[in-house]
Amino acid sequence: MLDRLRIVLVQTFHPGNIGASARAMKTMGLSDLVLVSPRRFPDEEATRLAAGASDLVENCRVVDSLPDAIGDCVQVIGASARLRSLPLPCYHAPDVMLREAWKRLPDGPVAIVFGRERYGLTNEEIGHCTHQLQIPANPEYGVLNLSQAVQIVAYEAFRQSRRPLEPMPRASAPYPTVEQLEHFYAHLHRALDSAGFLTQPHAKTEAHLRALFARAEPSRKELSILRGVLNALKNPDLETQRHDG
């Protein structure tokens, strides 16, 4: 299952951190590395600091945006040092996060997203995640180097993979991919806009709704039902005719 855990690095500034992160991953058996708009890549420093993990650097996927990196994932966890004004469900320990992520891996990849060295992930990027992760550290100096943070998560993933073999715990129904969630959010936006509900552009209504559904964690079937509800509300007369007929 380690091959289904994806490490996503967003706009990494120092190429050496890419190489060091690749080394941290390979040491713990992870191999799926995606780079979102790296500042300098490819670069000799990335290859040099990867040491024996240069194959991960050479074979990593480079994309232009975070949605391009996570569309097929069933869970996306944004590593962040601070909680946001609209907090998503948050894991406060990497081992707890990995135990929960392990339940989702049968349904698809799980991505752990790390932001820029200087200021991490933006609010917009956190908005594309389904969960947050805070790595506990000294409250007086809780600053982790990017590759160190990747190493901690990779180590906990390796530990999880070595637990005694047991029947894989699974959710009661498959989780939707992030791409399916985004289609739902787009559908919800159209329905709310058509109904005249989105009248205050600064109210962050849609951000609140995203956080609500992230906490609810609907299954694929439940998401399909919700989209059916939106369609019915858009065409109430048509739905009445169907039931009367």
The pLDDT, as a whole number, for residue 245 is 46
pLDDT in tens, 164-210: 755 555 556 788 998 999 999 899 989 888 888 888 765 688 888 88
Q: What is the DSSP letter of 177?
A: P
Between CA 6 and CA 189 the distance in angstroms is: 29
The pLDDT of residue 8 is above 70? yes
In the predicted model, what is the mean pLDDT of residues 121-150?
91
The pLDDT of residue 236 is above 50? yes
In 30-72, beta strands by DSSP E:
32-36, 61-63
In the predicted model, what is the mean pLDDT of residues 210-231?
89
Bond preceding residue 169 cis, omega within 30 of 0: no
Region of poorest pLDDT, from 1-10, 44-53, 211-220: 211-220
The pLDDT of residue 243 is above 80? no
Average pLDDT, the chain: 88
Distances (CA, A) of 60 to 53, 54, 95, 197, 239: 11, 10, 25, 43, 48
Q: Does domain 178-244 have CATH number 3.40.50.2300?
A: no
Region of poorest pLDDT, from 2-16, 169-183, 203-217, 228-242: 228-242
pLDDT in tens, 21-74: 999 999 999 999 999 999 999 999 999 999 999 999 999 999 999 999 999 999
In the predicted model, what is the mean pLDDT of residues 208-226?
88
The pLDDT, as a whole number, for residue 203 is 66
The CATH class of 2-161 is alpha beta
pTM above 0.75, yes or no: yes
Half-sphere exposure of 230 (CA within 13 A, CB side): 18
The pLDDT, as a whole number, for residue 38 is 97
The pLDDT of residue 121 is above 90? yes
Asked whether 9 and 18 are in contact (CB, 8 A), the reply is yes
Q: In CATH terms, are 2-161 and 178-244 the same topology?
A: no
> Where are the chain's structural domains?
2-161, 178-244
The pLDDT, as a whole number, for residue 73 is 97
Long-range pairs for 230-233: beta carbons < 8 A, 24 or more residues apart:
230/187, 230/188, 230/191, 233/191, 233/195
The pLDDT, as a whole number, for residue 234 is 76
